[in-house]
Structure 1
Amino acid sequence: MRPLLAVLLGASLLGGCAGKPGDPSGTWINQAAIDAASEGGNLREALLAYGPNLEWHIQPQRRLAAYSNGFEQGEGQLLDEDEDRWRVDFYADYHESLSLSGDTLLQAASDTWPEQRFARPTTPAAVDAPLGRSFEQALYSAYLGGSWTIRQGLGAGGLVLFQPDGRVEGLPGTERYALCLAGDCAAMSGEFDSVWLQLGEQGQAWLFERNDHYLSIFAALNRAQSDEMPDYHKGELHWRLERTSR
């Protein structure tokens, strides 16, 4: 019984949930960005409005804190400043200030970004999952969760399910998906949102629009030269899906 109790206790400490009030340890996600995105409209605009950081992972015992913005990651040294207040020092004299306010982790406003607010994920990713995965899973569930019906395009009338782990069921020729949150994929698609759809080892970028309970997926037309970064523009409508249940 004692070995089993030790294993369970260790798992609870590693699972991303703090054991007591005032403890910043574990994973925090930008729930405000997820809520804004879920209302529809441009996904990346919603993320930027409440970001750019999307997830923090804090390890007080190791004096470390790391963030993900959906493209880049950074890890810095965690230093105590005051009760429920910390500073994270990164390279080149760059730092961020974090504090706890009830159940919310606050990243202080700076010359570059406004104040950002983070909450503990309802369902944290696995302990060994990459940084940013908890945010991604929560976003996928809120933004594309539920049942979708193909109203136009290949497989019309069929049911489509987007799973939080990146699997997709019912979309012809597709078994995995990944929403573009930031970085090179965002630069390639400009003002449009993009999604990567993949079957086996083969995949490609598509552009999409989500308005209310409709999701439209368009071919991504590349207007760049062969030696340039792709420059995607909206092509022919390939699928139009309607969310029929949450």
Structure 2
Amino acid sequence: MRLSLALLASALWLAGCASTPQDPSGTWINQAAIDAAAQGGPLREALLAYGPNLEWRIDTARQLATVSNGFELSEGQLQVDPAAGWNVDFYGDFHEHLSLAGAQLLQAPSSNSPAQHFVRPQTPAAADAPQGSSFEHALYAAYLGGDWQIEQGSGQGGLVRFHADGAVEGLPGAERYALCLAGDCAAMSGEHDSLWLQLGNQGSAWLFERDGDALRVFAAVNQAATDEMPDYRPGEQVWLLQRN
């Protein structure tokens, strides 16, 4: 009898453990989109192919889940799904379902987005950094990391280094940069990739093309009227950079 009770207690304890999902709290990034971009092709094509969501931040203690698409944040209420995983309920009556599979956070396909996979960032951004920073830093390192030589343009022969935190060294007239991931900057540049270059308080948009280890940067020519949203098209090539 004692043996039977012990076995029953053990079985109940194991069942309880099996029904309690692992805590997914923390930051998760879309590594598949980063890996696709790192192949050296158009940036936003890679993000669209594996997006639209780029980073999740989950807080089970507060029952909150926030997702970033590179431009805007959506915050939802997180609830444990008795079947498996978690449901995220957003304002506007749309939902996402999350679950864990090994070291991955899985987002199930829904009416709003396709199935997507997320992983923990190797180097998470600071706790007080804006959401999306962990994905952005990992993308910047993979897409523009390393030494680039200026083959054509101002500073020809010099080396350029793009840092994961958005700093840039060696590019004349710039000390900060930001890649356009989505939103207004994407709408203004159409099918072209764009980035923002800034020196001090002054900055402007540029268009670029990435082809393997070659990076061409063009002036952004605005074809829109003064009272319309900017409509940028490539102008004169300003730099040709080659990654060493």
State whether TM-score is above 0.5. Answer: yes
Q: Which residue of 2 aligns with 1:78?
A: 78
Q: How does 1:13-92 map to 2 (within 5 A)?
A: 22-82=22-82, 85-92=85-92
* Partner Cα distance (2:178, 2:166) in 1: 6
- Residue 241 of structure 2 is aligned to residue 238 of structure 1: no
CA contact (8 A) 1:22 1:84 kept: no
Letter in 1 for 2:236: E
CA contact (8 A) 1:174 1:197 kept: yes
Question: 1:102-153 CA deviation, whole Å, 9 max, x = no partner?
Answer: 1000111113321011000000000000010000000000000011100000
* Partner Cα distance (1:83, 1:167) in 2: 46
Letter in 2 for 1:108: A
Question: 1:161-208 CA deviation, whole Å, 9 max, x = no partner?
Answer: 000000000000100000000000000000100000000000000000
Aligned partner of residue 123 in structure 1, secondary structure: coil
Which 4+ residue blocks in structure 1 deviate beyond 6 angstroms?
none
CA contact (8 A) 1:179 1:195 kept: yes
* TM-score when normalising by structure 2: 0.90
Gaps in structure 1 of 5+ consecutive residues: 1-20
Aligned partner of residue 216 in structure 2, secondary structure: strand
* TM-score when normalising by structure 1: 0.89
* Partner Cα distance (2:82, 2:33) in 1: 28
* Partner Cα distance (1:70, 1:179) in 2: 10
- Residue 187 of structure 2 is aligned to residue 223 of structure 1: no
Aligned partner of residue 91 in structure 2, secondary structure: coil
C-alpha displacement at 1:43, in angstroms? 0.6
Q: How does 1:95-106 map to 2 (within 5 A)?
A: 95-106=95-106
C-alpha displacement at 1:35, in angstroms? 0.3
* Partner Cα distance (1:24, 1:238) in 2: 45
CA contact (8 A) 1:84 1:100 kept: no
Q: Which residue of 2 aligns with 1:3?
A: none
* Partner Cα distance (2:53, 2:111) in 1: 15
Q: Which has the larger Rg? A: 2
* Partner Cα distance (2:110, 2:63) in 1: 22
* Partner Cα distance (2:185, 2:108) in 1: 28
* Partner Cα distance (1:112, 1:24) in 2: 22
Q: Which residue of 2 aligns with 1:158?
A: 158
* Partner Cα distance (1:156, 1:190) in 2: 29
Q: Which residue of 2 aligns with 1:118?
A: 118
Q: Which residue of 2 aligns with 1:202?
A: 202
Aligned partner of residue 89 in structure 1, secondary structure: strand
Gaps in structure 2 of 5+ consecutive residues: 1-20
* Partner Cα distance (1:107, 1:80) in 2: 14
Q: Which residue of 1 aligns with 2:167?
A: 167
Q: How many residues align?
A: 224
